[in-house]
Amino acid sequence: MVANSLVIAEILRSPTPVGTAIAVAPGHAAVGHSSEPDDVVVFALEGDGPRVAHERVSASG
């Protein structure tokens, strides 16, 4: 389970939302996206692999 900030995305002027989190399990991966620094991404870790259970995806930029 990887958690990243938005600092480099901001420096690179990447259009938001950008991938700021990833959950990886054997054979599975799920990427969570954020636009704001307090945007929470929630993953559900279940038997059939991780999935994004919640993210606020409001495009900007």
Partner 1 sequence: MVRVNAAGWNACDHAALPARSRLTRPEREAGLRVATAPMIREPDELEWEVEKRSGLRFYRIHPADREPTRARVEKVITAWDEQDVAIGIAPELCLSRALLERWQVALRKRMGAGTSRLRLVVAGSGNVDGSSLPANEAVLLDGRTGEVLVRQRKVHPFNFSHEDLELWGLADRLTAPIDEHLSRGERVCVVDAGGARLAILVCEDLARLHAFAAALHAHGVSLLLVPVFARPTKDRRWERARRGLQRRRRLERRGRQQPGDR
Tell me: cis bond preceding 17? Omega within 30 of 0 counts. Answer: yes
**What's the min distance (Å) between Cβ of 30 and partner 1?**
9
CA–CA dist 16, 52 (Å, integer): 17
Choice between 29 and 58, CB closer to partner 1: 29
Footprint of partner 1 on this chain (CB under 8 A)?
A: 1-12, 14, 18-23, 29, 31-32, 34, 36-47, 53-54
Choice between 36 and 58, CB closer to partner 1: 36
Identity at 51, one-letter amino acid code: R
Token pair belonging to 52: 């994004």
Identity at 7, one-letter amino acid code: V
**What's the min distance (Å) between Cβ of 14 and partner 1?**
5
